[in-house]
Amino acid sequence: MNFNEILTKKVNGKKLNYEEIDYVITNFTKGIISEDEMSKFIMEIYKKELSFKETLYLTNSMIKSGELLDFSGINKVIVDKHSTGGVGDKVTLIISPIVAASGLGVAKMSGRSLGLTGGTIDKLESITGYDVNLDKEKFITQVNNIGIAVISQTNKIAIADKKIYALRDKIGAVDSIPLIASSIMSKKIASGADIIIIDLKVGKGAFMKDTKSAKKLAKTMIKIGKIWNKKVVIILTDMNAPLGKSIGNALEIKETIDFLNGTYRDKRLKTLSIEISAYMISKGKNIALKKAKNLAKNILETNKAYETFKNWIQSQGGNLEELKDKAKTIEVYSDKSGYISEIDANEIAQICNELGSGRTGKRIDIDYGVGIVLNKTLYDEIKKDELLATIYYNNKINKHLEEKLKNSIKIIGIKPKEKNIIISVIS
């Protein structure tokens, strides 16, 4: 067995067995198969896809590439949540303290950016002092004491995924159903949680551009979960417009604080956060969804979630008074009056990436302070010459960005019908 034979077999559209897939994954993880060789293999998967059996083999091999975490030292039911990534997606930051305050455990490993905007770990690292690399003992102790700990994916679990994850971004093979399914499920299964809620984004600002593809991905992940005896619920959510008013790492931390303390709560963001929290609480406590939803709302409204959030961040060394938010600003005003009917999430993400908030292309470092804050969000009324948004930047800014931002926001004369951010729930 050798790599070139396996690659040729895939190029010719033939199905691979477990031994062949495991050979590639194991040897790439060890550094025997080069990044250039692996890039060719990934691109063949991207172009020709994999059968379900091949996707399962890929997932299993990626799980085997690292350790399976043991949370037996945690005295709470562990519930995990994953998002496939979206624009302005600060949901993990909001739902984690809600769920933790309900008495469940959120022992979470999150990723950095894969694409145009920052990942959860990037956002948390915009908080001065926040430690994303707790050792196992501190991690477990914090979950027992506070109910929540969020760290970066360790080098010990799903090692192959971390290497493939970076390569997919580099070569433009992000939106592949087998690669997404195996990446998510290998991490989630290796991370030890038996209950997994997945926020699967659909739309312009997501990997999945249409509901049909998203449902196919959802069913694939659920089938993998069942084989591993995991309870998996997948919530398909709209990502045609950004979530909330802020897009950018430190800016999203600020909005999270405002959301949790009740200063400002975007309607769509609140709907989604309560829905995901409810499913996590319902499955974790084995109670009715309606009861779980009422509990989530109560935790949010009584500031229990906010107090848990502060305890969580402080426990991991973070100082919410010192965000890495240094930036200059440009205010953008509306050219007309009306109602906001569309905000192109992909265009907004492209602008933020140009400002430096993501890691596409050759960029390794990101600028935590840059991004966009929308003064008006989806379905809001706006007047001509009223503040539409503020651009936060540090490096030299191109003049076209202001116009590009205006063009990404559609304003019409009549109030549009509001669409539910929840598309469907699959389990």
Number of Cβ within a 10 Å radius of residue 228? 16
Give the integer Cα–Cα distance in Å for 77 and 79. 7
Give residue limits of the domains in the chain.
3-48, 79-155+190-315, 328-412
Q: Is the pLDDT of residue 395 over 80?
A: yes
> Could you count the other beta carbons within 10 Å of the beta carbon of residue 128?
16
Task: Report the chain's C-alpha Rg in angstroms.
Answer: 21
Band of the pLDDT at 40, cuts 50, 70, 90?
very high
pLDDT for 176 beyond 90? no
- Residue-level pLDDT at 115: 57
Q: Indicate if the pLDDT at residue 308 is higher than 60.
A: yes
- DSSP character string of 209-260: -SHHHHHHHHHHHHHHHHHTT-EEEEEEEE-SS-SSSEESHHHHHHHHHHHH
Q: What is the pLDDT of residues 357-382, one digit of tens each?
A: 877 655 567 899 999 999 999 999 99
Least confident residue range of 161-165, 195-199, 325-329, 375-379: 161-165
CA dist., res. 94 & res. 297, Å (int)? 12
Q: Give dist(CA 236, CA 161) in Å, integer.
A: 23
Mean pLDDT of the chain: 92
Question: What pLDDT, on a 0 to 100 scale, did the predictor assign at position 123?
Answer: 94
pLDDT of 193 higher than 90? no
- Under 8 Å between Cβ of 121 and 111: yes
Phi, psi of 418 (to 5 degrees): -80, 135
Count CB-CB contacts under 10 A for residue 108.
22
Angle at 398 between CA 374 and CA 400, to 5 degrees: 65
Tokens of 291: 């009861």
Task: Give the Cα separation of 204 and 117 in Å (integer).
Answer: 14
Torsion angle in degrees (nearest 10) through CA of 131, 136, 137, 142: 50
Q: What pLDDT is recorded for position 110?
A: 80
Task: Give the list of residues 6+ apart from residue 413 with CB closer than 8 angstroms, or none.
Answer: 338, 339
Residues labelled as active-site residues? 82, 161, 168, 183, 187
CA atoms of 259 and 94, how far apart (whole Å) = 8
CATH 3.90.1170.30 fits 328-412, yes or no: yes
Angle of helix 159-171 versus helix 18-29 axis, rounded to 10: 80
> What mean pLDDT is predicted for residues 314-323?
97
Are 186 and 224 in contact by the 8 Å Cβ rule? The answer is: no
What CA–CA distance (Å, rounded) separates 265 from 57?
43
Give, in degrees to the nearest 5, the angle at Cα 326 between 325 and 329.
105
Q: Please give the class, per CATH, of domain 79-155+190-315.
A: alpha beta
Residue-level pLDDT at 327:
96
Q: How far is CA 168 from each of CA 113, 121, 132, 392, rounded to the nearest angstrom? A: 12, 19, 23, 29
Contact predicate 99/281, CB 8 Å = yes
The rounded distance, in Å, linking the Cα atoms of 378 and 281 is 29
